[in-house]
Amino acid sequence: MLKSSTCVAAALTALIATSAAAEGELNLYSSRHYDTDERLYSDFEEATGITINRIEGKADELIARMEAEGANSPADILLTVDTSRLERAKNAGILQTVDSAVLEDRIPANLQDSDNQWFGFSQRGRIIFFDKENVANPPATYADLAKPEYEGLVCIRSSSNTYNQTLLASIITHEGPEAAKAWAEGVVANMARDPQGGDTDQLRGIVSGECDIAVSNTYYYARAIRKDVKGVSADIDAIGWVFPNQDSYGAHMNLSGAGVAANAPNKDNAILFLEYLASDSAQQYFSGGNDEFPAVENVALADSVKALGEFKADDVDLSDVAKNIPAAQKTFNEVGWK
């Protein structure tokens, strides 16, 4: 699924080291809200002499802001989560194509935009969790979540959630729109409650007994292994997990990624920052600091992530998945997924 190059890694290290005289600025628009990212930024500043100026907010707000700013936008980089938002930014015309041998070699082709306008730098599996005591035969595939035997057992987020939109878009990509619609209808029929809350709340639903099965991104569970998460960590041994579709296309992975702004005033610094995010040291921060899977192969995993075990990840081209996101939202509306 992933790839790495010792030669390019060495070249990247040298590039960052020799760019210390570059100085200047980098204007970063970011919807990532993780405190551990501070180390990412400070290491880049120290290595390059480039000062990072940050504007933080929700992804949709940042995209709208960049659209409104137009050619006068100070943004150099948009950093956000999930393929759906990255594609939304591309479609809004606020990103530009990047030509970088480092990114081409370090980031797998399926985690890049087909026009190189965005790149994935970390991954999260969207998988199935279950109550070990109450569920003897948990769903083995995404399709299984729609089986009648799981009626009234499933907790999952709303249709407006970008992670769910991308998951359904991937099902459309693999199985076609009719099968995807049937799946969505089945999941709605099996919901234990109306969709509510974030991914951690779906895990809390298992602990509280509101549901026996939940869908969540892996890093929410891994975080509860690494540190205390209220309503989850104390009972984490009661929660089992399944990486779906191991006998077919593998577990769905969504991204945290970035692209260079269409009107970036500091384009060279912006490309250097993306290349830095592909370095081994930055990739380790994604895993160690936020319990994510690196995009680059052979980067050490945090213990909390390693505890989830080995699995087969879906290597579908996420550019193809992104094209089906509008169809996914339409399908959600048609089946009454709130």
Answer whether 251's CB lies under 8 Å from 287's CB: no
Question: Is 252 labelled as part of a ligand binding site?
Answer: no
CB atoms within 10 A of CB 58: 12
Answer whether 235's CB lies under 8 Å from 298's CB: no
DSSP state, residue 33: -
| Structure-block tokens of residue 21 | 């005289």
Helix or strand or coil: residue 232?
coil
Geometric angle at alpha carbon 281, from 280 and 283, rounded to 5°: 65
Q: Which residues contact 68 (CB under 8 A, 6 or more apart)?
A: none
The whole-angstrom separation of Cα 267 and Cα 81 is: 21
Question: Is 220 labelled as part of a ligand binding site?
Answer: yes
Question: Is 276 labelled as part of a ligand binding site?
Answer: no
DSSP state, residue 333: H
Geometric angle at alpha carbon 66, from 63 and 71, rounded to 5°: 150
Helix or strand or coil: residue 77?
strand
Q: Which residue carries 């409650």 as its tokens?
A: 193
Q: What is the DSSP string of 261-309?
A: BTT-TTHHHHHHHHHHHTSHHHHHHHHHHH-PEESSTTPPPPHHHHTT-
- C-alpha dihedral, 21 to 25 to 31 to 33, nearest 10°: 60
Binding residues: 33, 219-220
Binding residues for Fe cation: 33, 219-220
